[in-house]
DNA sequence: ATGGTCGCCGAGCGA
């Protein structure tokens, strides 16, 4: 079961890139972030015509997440538990049926948090605490779980081409990194990192549109795939589709994926 | 220190 995450940065602007990548990469399950539309504005038919089922959790203009699956899905949950007043569409969860295992796939778009300090940063840290609580519940199932998406956290200096540029940024502040570490340390495996544990630079998943960041490979790694122990035991491989950042009108993020023997 | 680029939609915000 190949499971991927892609921050698409506006589905209406990126439907062509998405469908081309789907046929090229051949994932079985995809979570999307920043669809930037209400559910009715999502071009589901174009994707359904390619053999997918589509579930969206949309919002006007900002945020918004979705699940695409070519495998049967048993349950869908929209919204991160823990705050009924939270209006932002940043979380969607699916139980996907593989041939051998059911896999819980939690797609997330963690708040950016800038400027920090401030209310947006407080919201980010509170959201991360809610994610940690949901993560504990999912780990307690002792089943294969993949919690993946745009975490908006640079975990370590080697995850940025120029870490010195990020020291005051909500993506790299010590509190953000500590909150991410606290989640990982519950027992999750960082699928991309374990494919090359001793890398000293990168790999990256995001390059800003500004200042020729892509041309200069001035990237950061903020899209992550966290695996429960039962999912990590099934891992066959993981990767980053870096070439998706080239070409005409790309997203500023690229897809990340993990393949499970599920 | 500033501005640099996108996508949302049709001005300015969020990233």
The residues of chain A scoring below 70 in pLDDT are none
- The answer to whether A7 is a known ligand-binding residue is yes
Question: How is residue A27 written in tokens?
Answer: 């994932």
How many domains are contained in chain A?
1
What's the pLDDT at A92? 98
What is the per-residue pLDDT across A201-224, written as a single tens digit (0 to 9) for each? 999 999 999 999 999 999 999 999
Contact yes or no for A188/A142 (Cβ under 8 A) = no
The gap between A37 CA and B8 C1' (Å) is: 9
Number of other CB atoms surrounding residue A14 within 10 Å? 21
- Closest nucleotide relative to residue A114's CA, C1' based: B15
Q: What is the CATH number of the domain that holds A128?
A: 3.60.10.10
Instruction: Record the pTM.
Output: 0.98
Known catalytic residues of A are: 109, 150, 253
The gap between A109 CA and B1 C1' (Å) is: 32
Strand B bases near protein CB (under 7 Å) are 3-9, 12, 14-15
- The answer to whether A152 is a known ligand-binding residue is yes
What's the pLDDT at A17? 98
- For residue A96, whether the previous peptide bond is cis, meaning omega lies within 30 degrees of 0, is no
What is the per-residue pLDDT across A127-153, written as a single tens digit (0 to 9) for each? 999 999 999 999 999 999 999 999 999
What's the pLDDT at A222? 98
Question: How is residue A147 written in tokens?
Answer: 């919690």
Which range marks the domain in which residue A152 is found? 2-260
């Amino acid at each position: 079961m190949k499971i991927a995450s892609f921050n698409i940065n506006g589905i209406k602007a990126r439907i062509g890139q998405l469908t081309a990548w789907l046929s090229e990469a051949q994932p079985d399950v995809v979570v999307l972030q920043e669809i930037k539309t209400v559910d009715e504005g999502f071009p589901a038919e174009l994707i359904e015509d390619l053999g997918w089922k589509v579930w969206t959790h949309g919002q006007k203009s900002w945020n918004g997440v979705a699940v695409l699956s070519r495998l049967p899905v048993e349950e869908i949950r929209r919204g991160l538990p823990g705050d009924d007043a939270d209006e932002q569409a940043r979380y969607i969860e699916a139980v996907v049926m593989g041939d051998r295992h059911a896999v819980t796939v939690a797609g997330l778009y963690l708040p950016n948090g800038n400027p920090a300090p401030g209310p947006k940063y407080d919201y980010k840290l509170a959201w991360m605490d809610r994610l940690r609580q949901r993560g504990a519940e999912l780990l307690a199932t002792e089943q294969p779980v993949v919690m993946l998406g745009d975490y908006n956290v640079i975990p370590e200096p080697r995850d940025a081409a120029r870490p010195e540029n990020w020291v005051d940024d909500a993506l790299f502040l010590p509190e953000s990194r500590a909150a991410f570490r606290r989640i990982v340390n519950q027992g999750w495996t960082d699928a991309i990192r374990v494919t090359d544990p001793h890398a000293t630079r990168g790999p990256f998943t995001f390059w800003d549109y500004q200042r020729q960041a892509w041309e200069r490979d001035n990237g950061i790694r903020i899209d992550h795939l966290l695996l429960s122990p039962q999912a990590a035991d099934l891992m066959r491989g993981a990767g980053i589709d870096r070439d998706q950042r080239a070409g005409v009108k790309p997203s500023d993020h690229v897809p990340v994926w993990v393949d499970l023997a599920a």
